[in-house]
Structure 1
Amino acid sequence: MALSLAFSPCPNDTFVFHALVHGRVAGAPSFDVTYADVDVTNTAAERGAFDLVKVSYAALPWLLDQYHLLPCGGALGRGCGPLVLTRGDRADLTGATVAVPGDRTTAYLLFRLWAADRPPARIEVVPFHEIMPGVAAGRYDAGLVIHEARFTYHRHGLTALVDLGEWWEGDTGLPIPLGAILARRGAVDPEAAAAWIRESVRQAWADPAASREYVLAHAQEMEPDVVDRHIGLYVNEFTADLGDAGFAAVEALLGRAADAGLVPQTSSSRATAWTS
């Protein structure tokens, strides 16, 4: 029987999971794959909708009772943080309407921590692909963007007010925890799932050309050079193994957010994860 698997159509996810979903990982089952933005998977995972699922680290406090956190396959790194974009030379968010890609995304949680003493007037949850055009057209005063937008926002005539990754790294010295892979308790052996994903990552690095057609087919008209930069930034050593630095980053993010009353208190992510 096939397992259900959900991740985004972004190049880093399709690159990582190509071998697994195409039956190239020995011993792995078949999968019914859903491609969806992380705001969708965050909500669906709370209902236990998928056996393996990519979610935001910010959503973990609502999910770890149903899921194991896997120590591989996700998105965590340095120099890859969300950006707050504006038009012109706006210097702050006083009175601003800010478009965000989801209310339980890591990007929005980082934004709320950063903006704690300078909150905007209004937040609107907007599909990711509509944020930059909306800011450029004046529908929003600012937009919170992720992924490949850090390579393309200049094309929309926008300016980065703040790089939340730079802010986070400068403040904590830790990498930025963005997206996590979860295995549903009682449905998937987390040790086996981690082994499958690590082998899929290994194959992706060993033969990048093998996944090229699949990655480009799901890249939402992204240019090949942007695809390559996207994969190079978001698929890194933490994709293969979170390690001590990765878990420390997750603990710091959720701990700070809980202390600020932004997410529920949760036990250690390392304690509720399956690790090896």
Structure 2
Amino acid sequence: MMTDEKVLIRIGHSPDPDDAFMFHALANDKIETGKYRFTHELQDIESLNKRALKGELELTAVSLHGYAYMTDTYAICSCGASIGDNYGPMVVAREECAIEDLKGKKIAVPGTMTTAFLALKLLLGDTFEFEVHPFDEILNIVERGDADAGLIIHEGQLTYADQGLKLIVDLGEWWYKETDGLPLPLGANAIRKDLGQEVMEEVTEYLKQSIVYGLENRKEALAHAQKYGRDLDDAKADKFVGMYVNDYTVDFGDKGREAVKLLLKKGYEQGVIPNPVEIEFIG
């Protein structure tokens, strides 16, 4: 019996402005998607990393650190990356201090599979204690004094000073200096390998079309993204999206791919990641 039923692709992504901007065209039927039907599931990145370990979603945002543990199941889409070019996750505290002073301190982190956590381990090794908390609670935890410092991702990078907190280190800036100018690749979109090569390539192409649509229709896509900008005014939401939806998001490019390989290689060499990582890009 013939059927016109479309192929369901469940997408997992974070409820934050850059992901919302990226997926606006797919979420709001702005582009034709052929034989595919896309649905969206919004969760914090650490929850998505854990779901990806079980291969639950066809297409999902993952941390590049998390990807090191799921290479059998997923390939990386060549588009959809969140990459910090001389900026990235930050460690903040109530009082200014040197990076060295973080040793022995308790740091609130947004998850051990986040790339932010990998970068912090590359910087500090095993010299700090950590507690995992939802990413959007970390600024409050530090402000209250329930942790000595906090590792912040997403829009907290633009709002920490509003709570009187001080920047101790920007890990994207540290990585840039450490690697002679490479960006810090934080997140990517991963596509499940059991879909087969043709589907993987076609779905990646629709993702790319969605990103390009957002960049070409910025005002409209920003209006959608703004709904997810906790504590961000219009100007900050625009700035945040600009930080993480850019040329690297359309395609990792040679520099982005090199940065991914080096990051995961260093993670393995320093014992944070247990095995060498074979990276597969689609598209």
- Work out which of the residue numbers 97, 111, 114 in structure 1 matches 2:120: 111
Aligned pairs (5 A) from 1:138-153 = 138-153=145-160
Aligned pairs (5 A) from 1:88-107 = 88-91=95-98, 92-107=101-116
CA distance in 1, matches of 2:171, 2:258: 18
Question: 1:20-64: CA deviations, max 9, x gaps?
Answer: 122222234222211111001000000111000000000112111
- Alpha-carbon RMSD: 1.5
Question: 1:237-269: CA deviations, max 9, x gaps?
Answer: 100000110110000000001011111323431
Aligned pairs (5 A) from 1:52-67 = 52-67=59-74
Question: 1:63-118: CA deviations, max 9, x gaps?
Answer: 111011111012013033111111113331133110000000000000000002x7
CA distance in 2, matches of 1:31, 1:103: 29
Match of 1:51 in 2: 58
Match of 2:4 in 1: none
Match of 1:20 in 2: 26
- Work out which of the residue numbers 234, 248, 255 in structure 1 matches 2:265: 255
Match of 1:82 in 2: 89
CA distance in 1, matches of 2:231, 2:149: 24
Match of 1:206 in 2: 216
CA contact (8 A) 1:21 1:30 kept: no
CA pair 73-94 structure 1, distance change in 2 beyond 3 A: closer
Counterpart code for 1:209: K
CA contact (8 A) 1:55 1:180 kept: yes
1:167 aligned to 2:174? yes
Of 191-200 and 26-35, more deviation after overlay is shown by 26-35
CA distance in 2, matches of 1:95, 1:64: 33
CA contact (8 A) 1:87 1:159 kept: yes
1:273 aligned to 2:281? yes
SS class of match (1:2)? strand
Match of 1:186 in 2: 194
Match of 2:206 in 1: 196
Paired positions, count: 271
TM-score under structure 1 normalisation?
0.94
CA distance in 2, matches of 1:149, 1:267: 30
SS class of match (1:186)? helix
CA distance in 1, matches of 2:211, 2:10: 19
Of 175-184 and 259-268, more deviation after overlay is shown by 259-268
CA distance in 2, matches of 1:148, 1:245: 25
CA distance in 2, matches of 1:77, 1:140: 26
- Work out which of the residue numbers 35, 38, 42 in structure 2 matches 1:31: 38
1:156 aligned to 2:163? yes
CA distance in 2, matches of 1:60, 1:37: 15
Match of 2:8 in 1: 2
Q: Which runs of 5+ in 2 are unaligned?
A: 1-6
SS class of match (2:108)? strand
CA distance in 2, matches of 1:157, 1:97: 19
Of 132-141 and 216-225, more deviation after overlay is shown by 216-225
TM-score under structure 2 normalisation?
0.91
SS class of match (1:123)? strand
Q: Which runs of 5+ in 1 are unaligned?
A: none
1:219 aligned to 2:226? no
Counterpart code for 1:89: E
Report the CA distance between 1:163 and its aligned residue: 1.0
